[in-house]
Amino acid sequence: MWAETFATNVTGVFLTVQALLPNLRAAGAARIAIISSQMASHTHASGGSYIYRASKAAALNLGRNLAADLAPEGIAVGIYHPGWVRTDMGGEAAEISVDEAAEGLIARFAALGPQSTGCFQTWDGHDHPY
What is the strand order of the sheet 120-122 is part of? Answer: 31-35, 76-81, 120-122
**Separation of alpha carbons 55 and 127, rounded Å:** 20
Compute CA 56 distance to the chain's CA centroid, rounded to the nearest angstrom.
8
Question: Which residues form the catalytic set?
Answer: 52
Burial of 56: CB neighbours in 10 Å, binned 0-12, 13-18, 19+ = buried
